[in-house]
Structure 1
Amino acid sequence: MRADAKKNYDHVLAVARCVVAEHGADASMRDIARRAEVGLATLLRHFPTREALFDALLRENLDALTQKAVALETSKPPGEALISWFREGVAFVHTYSGVTALMASAHEDPDSALYASCAAVHASCARLLLAAQKAGVARSDMDGVDLFALMSSLGWLADQSAFAQRGGRLFDLISSAILIDSPDRVIK
């Protein structure tokens, strides 16, 4: 990419980050173009679809979440690694309103621009859960899809004004339902 094209791309992406932070996943492509002071055609040349734009916005964060799982696997006991990553995941899905729906649909669509990054996050999620289950510290009756759904739910709840103040408590409740203190009993 030429230097001027890269500068333009980075500028549009920076503006898109701001607009999406304000308006969530429903942010208007026209509004992004207008605020970036480029034509809609220029925006669409860089990001031909809404998914392509969100792929660019989220890929860095999704990749960081995947790398965080790898780091936690080698530096913490399995249960602690799982809950630390779960906390990071909840914080991430709370970044942009509506991002969980995009990620959920992208995970089911191999043609989606977000598919590879979302699949990597799901794989990390499942791998951490499996390690905690093998260590006997996590429920055996759940899988990575369940864990991702819980993470997404907590992210969504934090966006709801009625539940925003309860985010920490709800996280603790869900975490205690995931971890067990013995193979037979869930931590209360």
Structure 2
Amino acid sequence: MATETAGQPQTTSTAATAPARTPDVRPMRADARRNYERLLTEARTAFTEHGTDTSLEDIARRAGVGIGTLYRHFPNRTALMGAVFQGEVDALLAHARELADAPQPCAALVEWLRAIITHATTYRGLSRALMTASADDSSGMARCSVPMREAGGALLTRAQQAGAVRPDVSISDLMQLTNGIALAVEESPDDPKLADRLLTLTLRGLKGENH
């Protein structure tokens, strides 16, 4: 701010009041968009057939691009995984919203947890990746897991308020248990009823005083 002198009004620096300029976000070029979509398609197929630890070089080759192109779109494996699974995560979040007003809060929570197990066991290695995703990192898997924890937390709170689940159970504990069940199912593909048995045993330990 300039110093006021006789006969001259006080002036204010324009630099202090000018709004910050927002950087322009350029839309993806058509060829880049095609590469992006091909990479997602091939990654989804590879993760289903070979697991989430499949070779990124192989995914790039199947998509018809170089590994450098893959890394320009997805800086690491977890970023690619997060993009691949985002649609399915959105479906699980929508399902949680549908269950938010269900008349039986505990049954709603169980139904949603079972859906998570089904999703996680579709791709070998996904449950382990979800278990290690941290809420305070910026990886693609974290961007998937954080809203899942929030959605599950709302269902868990309703079940706790109904007295169906112990009040000391946290959503972090419950998600770890669920992903642990998914991991066990992944390693025992010849036992189709394993998920239900383990989920039932887990819930027995979580029951509230009214159940």
- The structure where helix makes up a greater share of residues is 1
1:18 paired with 2:45, answer yes
TM-score, normalisation: structure 1? 0.86
How large is the Cα RMSD of the aligned pairs?
2.0
Q: Specify every segment of 5 or more residues in structure 1 that has no aligned partner in the other structure, as ranges.
A: none
Q: Specify every segment of 5 or more residues in structure 2 that has no aligned partner in the other structure, as ranges.
A: 1-27
Q: Which moved more, 1:161-170 or 1:49-58?
A: 161-170
- Report runs of 4+ in structure 1 exceeding 6 Å deviation: none
Aligned to 1:61: 88
Change (3 A) 1:76 1:117: farther
Alignment of 1:35-114 (within 5 A): 35-114=62-141
TM-score, normalisation: structure 2? 0.77
Alignment of 1:155-170 (within 5 A): 155-161=182-188, 164-165=191-192, 166-170=194-198
SS in 2 for 1:26: coil
How far, CA to CA, are the matches of 2:189 and 2:30 in structure 1?
47
Aligned to 2:151: 124
Aligned to 2:8: none
**Does structure 2 retain, via aligned residues, the 8 Å contact 1:93–1:152?**
yes
Report the alpha carbon displacement of residue 121 of structure 1 after superposing the two structures with TM. Answer: 0.5
How far, CA to CA, are the matches of 1:16 and 1:118 in structure 2?
19
SS in 2 for 1:141: coil
Aligned length: 183
Same amino acid, percent of matched pairs: 35
Change (3 A) 1:76 1:9: farther
**Does structure 2 retain, via aligned residues, the 8 Å contact 1:29–1:40?**
yes
How far, CA to CA, are the matches of 1:167 and 1:111 in structure 2?
30
Give, as a single letter, the amino acid of the residue that structure 1 aligns with 2:69.
Answer: T
Larger radius of gyration: 2
Report the alpha carbon displacement of residue 108 of structure 1 after superposing the two structures with TM. Answer: 4.0
